Amino acid sequence: MGLGAYIAVSAALFALGIVAILVRRNILYVLMGIEMILNAANINFVAFNRFNGGGLEGRMFAIFVIILAAAEAAVALAIVLNVFHLFNSVKPAEADLLRE
């Protein structure tokens, strides 16, 4: 399969991540959507790297994306726990302390 097929899969995965963030009113779905989007970006990096000479740059970038995704997931989960503790809710719309 050529480059276009990989780009198509990654575009669809990116779009589904956006849908997960927009459609489900739950912080955990926002987290999952972000992970989908990062995965889509990674597929793009590795695919372009593969079909464009096959150096190491794209794969290195993908590795750093994975590393930062792990850090992001840990911090985001801690924030989710705190938000739930404060507002007794996992809906992003109800975390509105600054409005009052």
Give residues in contact with another protein (CB under 8 A).
Answer: 1-9, 11-13, 15-20, 22-26, 28-29, 31-32, 35-36, 39, 42-43, 46-47, 49-54, 56, 59-60, 62-64, 66-75, 77-82, 84-85, 90-91
Torsion on CA atoms 21, 83, 95, 22, rounded to nearest 10: 0
From the CB of 24, what's the least distance to another protein, in Å? 7
In this complex, which beta carbon is closest to another protein, that of residue 61 or of residue 100? 61
From the CB of 92, what's the least distance to another protein, in Å? 12
From the CB of 45, what's the least distance to another protein, in Å? 9
In this complex, which beta carbon is closest to another protein, that of residue 23 or of residue 98? 23
DSSP per residue, 40-85: HHHHHHHHHHHHTT--SHHHHHHHHHHHHHHHHHHHHHHHHHHHHH
Q: Are 92 and 29 in contact (CB under 8 A)?
A: no
Look up residue 82 and give its two tokens. Answer: 């705190």
